[in-house]
Each structure stands twice: as structure tokens, then as C-alpha cells.
């Protein structure tokens, strides 16, 4: 019997497998595909997840850079440029890497941690009782587990078999087209890197450029062919032929009102040639049914606008894993798992609010143009830009973790600590995914000693408004003090609430 079976080795299934392994559980991952998929999805990660990966030592491996992540100087929201460099405390981090790189690194990390991934194993059914789950595979094999995590994507079989509803809306009026292209150097503006279109002007790079007729994006990423994307609202979504470069260029010409010239790329692929019609915004009405839990796209689907998917899903995985591991180990009651849904489902609701709002803002027509004039005026106020940046980053999330300073329930800020052996970044202390007590008073080690098998204590000096911080493995602050004489009873209560009785 396995402690945990994870259905799906997409990014979120791999992430929870790594986190479970760090927490001492050996999960089995079942993946229906026999090898990595050719499908091209995310072009990058946007938001707090970039820093979360840094806090597991994965940012350097995915980005190929030893330097810590830095906030993005600019980004886009609903085809509005966000001037983030002007913000004093910019919360938005972006890591522009293809999803297949993220999946490769997470797969390698899972293997290092001893996770078993069985490819060519499709989950087709399960039944559960109070003791566990019997998972049925397409070839008839039965795998027994104490818990099943559905990380099997938007069409999740696990979600459907668990009887969990997936209410929301399906839109059927938009077509988005994307292709890698090659253009002559004369078509690239040397000053901005934008795409020069005779009769229209310059489409700036990475911005979403809206006209009354649709949207066009020109993206140039290092080591990859440039990409042109369009979105239109044509009224009919019937297509006879597969997507082609000519179809994309005709769409781009309609959007900008002038001919657009490009060729197919000549270098090694994979080259993208994609048409997507319509879209879904749906949220599971429960994240748990008995011994079955959902994460990632199995729990929520939405437009990819603004790139929020991996920020949401990978942090679902990080939130659930340590809780599930504590329940598996018998240290914590199953009620701890209720906090997974109560903390993460509202975050998914905010993401769908954000993607639906952006989808309206990029829409065609003069009424949307009027709305954009007003929205543009609001975005000229830096505080509003900061608010949108925090929404996209997910840094405005505050879980209800009980009373205390404002830091409680928030994701721990990046800190540089002096532990007596030179400066240490907080991200270096969280790679083990163990609970962490940061004690800036040097007085709390004795109070936390009964939890020393589970909780690391670091006495340090740090540039923080707090005098002590208790971090859960997902880096959210479970307890904090701003007093020189911290409330030791409050600390013990938080240790017990999140990590179980004193040892």
C-alpha cells in the first residue's frame, strides 16, 4: 500500500511529489503518457511562485542563473503595460522559461528524491473507504494507497470520479492563434525590438497590443524563435483546415489593419503553430472528497492571460504536501487538510476574477475602448499599479491563521539573515521544506525544543520588523512577534496547531 498516489506527472503532480518526498513520504506518481509531451503551454512563470521555487533551490536550476530572482521592470495586465520599475516595493517576479523546462527540472528533482514515476499508467477508476483508495489503471492493475491526489489536469478523471462538480462558464466567441515565425532584421525596430509593420507602425515586444478589432502580441525570447499571437472574436469558430502561418498572418492583418509579413522559422523545432477556440473558467466546488484531493488544473481552469496558472497550481502543491505528509505520519488529524481548501480555493477565485477581468479588457468594440480609457487613468496612479501587480503575483494573499501582527498569514518576506557565519538568504534556509522558527531575540530555543524533531530554530539578526517568525513549510507565517519579549505561550500554541503535539 502506498501512502500517496499522485495521478498525473504534469508540473503540479511533479511538484507535490517532490514536496511529499521532502516531508518524508514516498509517493507513487502515475502518468498516462509514456514520455514528455510535445504540447507547448506556458512560456513562463509569473508571480510569487518564482520566489517559491528559489526557496526550494529550484530557481537556479530552472533559470540557469546563480543570481537570486529580481522583480520584473514591467509586465502586462489586460493589454495595459505595467510600469513596475517605478514601484518602491515591486512584488512581481517573472521567469520566462518554457513549461517543458520546468517539467524536466521537476522530474529530475523528483528522481533525486527517490520518487517513483510510472509512465504509461492511466488512472481509469477508483473506489475508497475509510482506510484507503483502490486505484484502477487502464490495464486493469489495482494500486492501493491511503490517499489519492488528482493532478491530472483540466479534464481530470479523478475529479469526475470523485463526484466533484466543476461549475463555471465556457466562452465560445474567441480565437487565439500563435506561431513561431522568422522575420527579416529590417522588420525589427532596433530601438525597441518591436515588430515594424508597414502601414501600421510598431508592435512593441511583450506588450499585448489591442485595437478595436483584436489583440496582437510580438514576443522575442532568448534562444527561441520570435512569436506572433493574435486574439479575435469572429462570431464563428468553425475551421476546416489545421492552423497555418497564412491564417495567423491574415488574422494579424485584420487586427492591425495592414499586411503582416513573416516566414516559418528554419531552425530546429519544436515550432509552435496553435489555434485555440473559446475557453473555460471553472473551479471545483470542493478540493477534497474523502481520501481524494485535487490540485492544479484538476481543481481550476481559466484563461492563460497574464500567465497565472503555474503560480496558482505549484503553490497548491506546496500548500497541500506538508499537511498531507503530517496526516500520513499520524502527527496531525485529517482536519488539517480542511485548511488546504479554505486557504487555496479563495486564491483560485481571485485568479479567475483576474483572468476574466483581463479577458473583458482586451475585448473588441468601442464600449471596451471607453472602459480602457478609464482603467488607463486609474493605472496612472502608482498605488493602483502596485495593487494589480500584487494581484498577479499572489502577494496580496493573507490566509486566516489567527491573531497577531499583520505578517501572520502572509508569505514570509525575503530576508537576509546574519547567523554569525556571514549573510544568509532566507531562501537558503527553506530548501529542506521544514518548518522554521526565526528567532531574532535569542530567547526562544527552549520553548521550541519539544518540536525540534520537526521544526528548525535559527537564531539570527535580521533586517525585519519582526522579532521572531514561525514559518510553515509553504513559507507562510504561522506566528510572529514584534516584541523584544515574544509571547512564548502563543508560539507554543502555533507550534501545536500546525505541527502537532510537543514530542
Ligand X SMILES: Cc1cc2nc3c(=O)[nH]c(=O)nc-3n(C[C@H](O)[C@H](O)[C@H](O)COP(=O)(O)OP(=O)(O)OC[C@H]3O[C@@H](n4cnc5c(N)ncnc54)[C@H](O)[C@@H]3O)c2cc1C
Q: List interacting residues with ligand X (CB under 6 A).
A: 7-13, 30-33, 41-45, 99, 122-123, 151-153, 157, 296-298, 304, 307, 309-311, 313
| Closer Cβ to ligand X, 274 or 331, answer by number | 274
Who contacts 392 (Cβ-Cβ below 8 Å, separation ≥6)? 46, 47, 75, 77, 92, 306, 308, 354
In whole angstroms, how close is the CB of 395 to ligand X at the nearest point? 16
In whole angstroms, how close is the CB of 291 to ligand X at the nearest point? 17
| Closer Cβ to ligand X, 309 or 363, answer by number | 309
Report residue 289: phi and psi, to 5°. -130, 100
Cα–Cα dist 80/488, whole Å: 48
| Closer Cβ to ligand X, 249 or 317, answer by number | 317
Cα–Cα dist 355/281, whole Å: 9
In whole angstroms, how close is the CB of 84 to ligand X at the nearest point? 18
Specify the DSSP element, H or E, that contains 215.
strand 214-219
| Closer Cβ to ligand X, 27 or 462, answer by number | 27
Q: How many CA atoms lie within 13 A of 169 on its CB side?
A: 9
In whole angstroms, how close is the CB of 309 to ligand X at the nearest point? 3
* Rg of the chain (C-alpha set): 24
| Closer Cβ to ligand X, 133 or 417, answer by number | 133
In whole angstroms, how close is the CB of 21 to ligand X at the nearest point? 17
- In the structure grid, which three cell numbers stand for residue 369, read together? 475602448
| Closer Cβ to ligand X, 79 or 401, answer by number | 79
In whole angstroms, how close is the CB of 350 to ligand X at the nearest point? 15
Who contacts 267 (Cβ-Cβ below 8 Å, separation ≥6)? 225
Quick check: helix, strand or coil at residue 174? strand
| Closer Cβ to ligand X, 311 or 319, answer by number | 311
**Do the beta carbons of residue 146 and residue 4 sit within 8 Å?**
yes
In whole angstroms, how close is the CB of 43 to ligand X at the nearest point? 5
In whole angstroms, how close is the CB of 46 to ligand X at the nearest point? 6
Q: Strands 168-180 and 116-119: what pairing? A: unpaired
| Closer Cβ to ligand X, 160 or 497, answer by number | 160
Cα–Cα dist 170/89, whole Å: 37
Burial code (b: 16+ CB inside 10 Å, e: under 16) for 328-358 equals beeebeeebbebbbebbbebbeebbebbbbb
Q: Where are the beta strands (DSSP E) in 348-435?
A: 416-418, 423-425
Cα–Cα dist 182/388, whole Å: 34
In whole angstroms, how close is the CB of 436 to ligand X at the nearest point? 27
Q: Which residue number is nearest to ligand X in terms of Cβ?
A: 10
Query: CA nearest 311: which of 356, 358, 272, 350?
Result: 350
| Closer Cβ to ligand X, 4 or 408, answer by number | 4
Amino acid at each position: 500500500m502506498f501512502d500517496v498516489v499522485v495521478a498525473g506527472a504534469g508540473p503540479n503532480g511533479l511538484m507535490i511529489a517532490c514536496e511529499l518526498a521532502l516531508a518524508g513520504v514516498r509517493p507513487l506518481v502515475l502518468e498516462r503518457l509514456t514520455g514528455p509531451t510535445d504540447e507547448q503551454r506556458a512560456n513562463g512563470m509569473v508571480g510569487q511562485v518564482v520566489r517559491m521555487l528559489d526557496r526550494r533551490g529550484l530557481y537556479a536550476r530552472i533559470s540557469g542563473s546563480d543570481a537570486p530572482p529580481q522583480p520584473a521592470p514591467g509586465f502586462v495586465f489586460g493589454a495595459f503595460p505595467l510600469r513596475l520599475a517605478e514601484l518602491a516595493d515591486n512584488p512581481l517576479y517573472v521567469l520566462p522559461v518554457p513549461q517543458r523546462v520546468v517539467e524536466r527540472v521537476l522530474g529530475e528533482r523528483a528522481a533525486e528524491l527517490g520518487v517513483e514515476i510510472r509512465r504509461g499508467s492511466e488512472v481509469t477508476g477508483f473506489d475508497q473507504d475509510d482506510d484507503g483508495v483502490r486505484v484502477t489503471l487502464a490495464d486493469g492493475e489495482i494500486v492501493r494507497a491511503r490517499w489519492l491526489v488528482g493532478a491530472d489536469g483540466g479534464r481530470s478523471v479523478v475529479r469526475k470520479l470523485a463526484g466533484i462538480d466543476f461549475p463555471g462558464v465556457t466562452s465560445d466567441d474567441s480565437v487565439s492563434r500563435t506561431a513561431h515565425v522568422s522575420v527579416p532584421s529590417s522588420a525589427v525596430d532596433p530601438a525597441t525590438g518591436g515588430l515594424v509593420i508597414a502601414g501600421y507602425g510598431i508592435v512593441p515586444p511583450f506588450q499585448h497590443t489591442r485595437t478595436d478589432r483584436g489583440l496582437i502580441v510580438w514576443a522575442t525570447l532568448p534562444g527561441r524563435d520570435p512569436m506572433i499571437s493574435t486574439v479575435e472574436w469572429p462570431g464563428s469558430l468553425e475551421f476546416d483546415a489545421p492552423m497555418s502561418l497564412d491564417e495567423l498572418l491574415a488574422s494579424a492583418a485584420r487586427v492591425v489593419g495592414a499586411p503582416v509579413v513573416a516566414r516559418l522559422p528554419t531552425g530546429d523545432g519544436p515550432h509552435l503553430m496553435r489555434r485555440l477556440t473559446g475557453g473555460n473558467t471553472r473551479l471545483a466546488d470542493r478540493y477534497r472528497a474523502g481520501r481524494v484531493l485535487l490540485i492544479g488544473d484538476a481543481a481550476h481552469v481559466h484563461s492563460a492571460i497574464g500567465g497565472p496558472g503555474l503560480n496558482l497550481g505549484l503553490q497548491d502543491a506546496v500548500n497541500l504536501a506538508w499537511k498531507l505528509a503530517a496526516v500520513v505520519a499520524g502527527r496531525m488529524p485529517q482536519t488539517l487538510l480542511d485548511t488546504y481548501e479554505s486557504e487555496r480555493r479563495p486564491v483560485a477565485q481571485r485568479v479567475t476574477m483576474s483572468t476574466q477581468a483581463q479577458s473583458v479588457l482586451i475585448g473588441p468594440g468601442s464600449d471596451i475602448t471607453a472602459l480602457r480609457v478609464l482603467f488607463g487613468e486609474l493605472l496612472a496612479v502608482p498605488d493602483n499599479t502596485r495593487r494589480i501587480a500584487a494581484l498577479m503575483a499572489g502577494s496580496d494573499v493573507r490566509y486566516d491563521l489567527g491573531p497577531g501582527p499583520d505578517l501572520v498569514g502572509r508569505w514570509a518576506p525575503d530576508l537576509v539573515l546574519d547567523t554569525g557565519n556571514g549573510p544568509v538568504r532566507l531562501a537558503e534556509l527553506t530548501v529542506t521544506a521544514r518548518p522554521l522558527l526565526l528567532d531574532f531575540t535569542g530567547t526562544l530555543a527552549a520553548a521550541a525544543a519539544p518540536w525540534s524533531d520537526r521544526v528548525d530554530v535559527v537564531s539570527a539578526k535580521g533586517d525585519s520588523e519582526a522579532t521572531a517568525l514561525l514559518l510553515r513549510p509553504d513559507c507562510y507565517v504561522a506566528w510572529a512577534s514584534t516584541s523584544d519579549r515574544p509571547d512564548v505561550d502563543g508560539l507554543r500554541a502555533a507550534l501545536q496547531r500546525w505541527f502537532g503535539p510537543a514530542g
